[in-house]
Structure 1
Amino acid sequence: MIVYKNTDAPSGVESSQPAVSWCAVFAGAVAAAALSIVIAILGSGLGLTVLSPYSHPDTVVSVAVGALVWLIFVQWASSALGGYITGRLRTKWVSVMTEEVFFRDTVHGFLAWSLATLITAGFITSSTLLLANGAMKSPPRDEHHGPHAYYINVLFRSDNVHPIPPDVREDAAMLLARSIADKTAQPDDRDYLVHLVSVQTGLNQDESRRRVEGVIAQVQTTADKSRKAMVALSISTALAMMVGAFIASVSAALGGRQRDQF
């Protein structure tokens, strides 16, 4: 068993040297947070972190898989860097058994990972608030370019050359959004949509109802796949973060061992 021995320290006396090197922890956390933010921004530029619940179902799944792979890479790479830097920069302990040194190194790596996670979460929160504030100040988006624009166009598709009134499109978009939130369309909402489609397209009630039922089914299928993709992404991200904590701890132990060799 290897013991780091300090001949100047009295036997049986607790060392005044702190067990936690906070400077090393902070340095590793800052490095990990900076790397994760840079890689996350790069992934956002590549379109790997954008997931819309109104996208095509196949697109939703493919984007979710891409985002998951990218988030795992971000978490593991930043955790490895932060943990290793923490281990290399921590103070060398004396009169401490090897097993205790290993334990302290892994704890340092975990602390660096924890602090980096808080820093990154703060950055993401502030960025989200800024984007939300900008969205509130921007002019409202009309339903020709909204998330339900495609489905509304399908509802009112006809040979009629006259444009659909904005208030009609707005009502249809509101009812489709409610069907997503409630996971089903209320009978009154369905009847009203059927009436709108019949009036605007000239279709009879039966044809209008079939069209409405088909569009609602498409909307709910897309929303359901999006929800499942988001749930899978959230669970996988949490698991990736746990593995990242382990990687940070192991990397810190490796960095600490190399630090003691020099």
Structure 2
Amino acid sequence: MSASLQAPGTVALADSAARPRVSWPAIFAGVVLAVAVEAALGMLGAGIGLGLAAPAQNPDAATLGTGGAIWALASTVIALLAGSYAAARLAGIPTRFDGVLHGLVIWAVTLLFTAWLLTSAIGGVVGGAFSLLGHTLSSAGATAGSAVSAVLPHDAASALPNAHALEQQADRLLAAPTPQDPAAMSHADAVKAIGEALPDLMAGGDRAQAARQRITAVIAAQAHISQQEAQARLNAAEQKLTAMKDQAAATARHAADRVASTASQASFLAFAGLLIGALAAALGGAMARPRVVAARTWVS
């Protein structure tokens, strides 16, 4: 009489040769468990964060952001550990290396599933918002058209845009042209003439010289000063405009550098988080490896 004795939690070497190295049902179960654990821990963290963000407690936004990031990383690590351990344990992985590989597959599938889930949710929200906006604008346009049709006769309502265009044309015909002589200009005409010449002045080139002469003549005539004094005023104003333009360009470059630096730091932090998650998944799969013993046969 013979019997094979095997301790609980062990895998016989004779069975390991016939066992497939990849168990997709176990991987699917591990992914489901990892997503569920991460969702549960995320809800717990949201409850804690909302409790700390009570207005009466005057919370610090930076502290809450850092705490949220730490909680998200910790919950991801715990979820991947649990999912990878369960998958490797259910698959009955006979070697530690295969357990690590199962954990990495759990990490990859969970990452792709989470990314798809977030993308689908965001896409659904944005699509719903644009759809609602389109329906609202369509309804508003229909309501406005009905109101105009109710107040005006059909012929008058259809002729309204033409009447408006004719009114604008009549306004342009009645508007007095800007005098070319700076001495004959009103204050409003002088401001208009300088405003029309400033783009050519700032653009440089051949048009800048003509714009400079035009602005100088207007300033001299309106301020009752000499051409030299008007030229000095224009030079001072041009220096201020140049300084403002340079300052705006420097501010824009500084803001762009800050955005690029922040995006770079966020990318490195995200990569570090993904690497930590992969290590946690590999550790969970390695921990689930059962103790391998040789099958022993007792003869009695």
Provide closer, same or farther for how the CA distance between residues 137 and 62 of structure 1 changes in structure 2, counting only shifts above 3 A.
farther
Provide the residue aligned with 1:240 in structure 2: 273
Provide the residue aligned with 1:73 in structure 2: 74
Contact 1:64 1:233 in 2 (8 A): no
Shift of 1:107: 1.3
Find the structure with the greater CA-based Rg: 2
Shift of 1:212: 6.7
Shift of 1:207: 6.7
Provide closer, same or farther for how the CA distance between residues 69 and 222 of structure 1 changes in structure 2, counting only shifts above 3 A.
farther
Given residue 227 of structure 1, which amino acid in structure 2 is its aligned partner? A
Percent identity of equivalent pairs: 22
Shift of 1:258: 7.8
Provide the residue aligned with 1:55 in structure 2: none
For 2:242 and 2:45, how far apart are their aligned partners in 1? 43
Given residue 88 of structure 1, which amino acid in structure 2 is its aligned partner? R
Structure 1 unaligned runs (5+)? 48-58, 94-100, 141-187, 193-203
Of 21, 24, 29, 2:23 maps to: 21
Shift of 1:239: 2.4
Structure 2 unaligned runs (5+)? 1-9, 51-60, 135-198, 204-236, 294-300
Provide the residue aligned with 2:87 in structure 1: 86
- Higher share in helix: 2
Provide closer, same or farther for how the CA distance between residues 5 and 76 of structure 1 changes in structure 2, counting only shifts above 3 A.
closer
Contact 1:68 1:236 in 2 (8 A): no
Provide the residue aligned with 1:117 in structure 2: 111
- TM-score w.r.t. length of structure 1: 0.51
Aligned residues: 174
For 1:20 and 1:206, how far apart are their aligned partners in 2? 73
Of 116, 120, 126, 2:120 maps to: 126
Which one scores higher on RCO, CA 8 angstroms, separation ≥ 6?
2
Given residue 122 of structure 1, which amino acid in structure 2 is its aligned partner? W
Contact 2:13 2:292 in 1 (8 A): no
Provide closer, same or farther for how the CA distance between residues 88 and 16 of structure 1 changes in structure 2, counting only shifts above 3 A.
closer
Provide the residue aligned with 1:195 in structure 2: none
Name the SS for the 1:256 alignment partner: coil
For 1:212 and 1:62, how far apart are their aligned partners in 2? 38
For 1:208 and 1:76, how far apart are their aligned partners in 2? 56
For 2:282 and 2:289, how far apart are their aligned partners in 1? 10
For 1:110 and 1:210, how far apart are their aligned partners in 2? 57
Shift of 1:34: 3.0
Provide the residue aligned with 1:199 in structure 2: none
Given residue 30 of structure 1, which amino acid in structure 2 is its aligned partner? V
Contact 2:34 2:83 in 1 (8 A): yes
For 2:264 and 2:245, how far apart are their aligned partners in 1? 28
Deviates more, 1:209-218 or 1:14-23: 209-218
Given residue 80 of structure 1, which amino acid in structure 2 is its aligned partner? L
Give RMSD over aligned pairs.
4.2
Name the SS for the 1:17 alignment partner: coil
Provide the residue aligned with 1:171 in structure 2: none
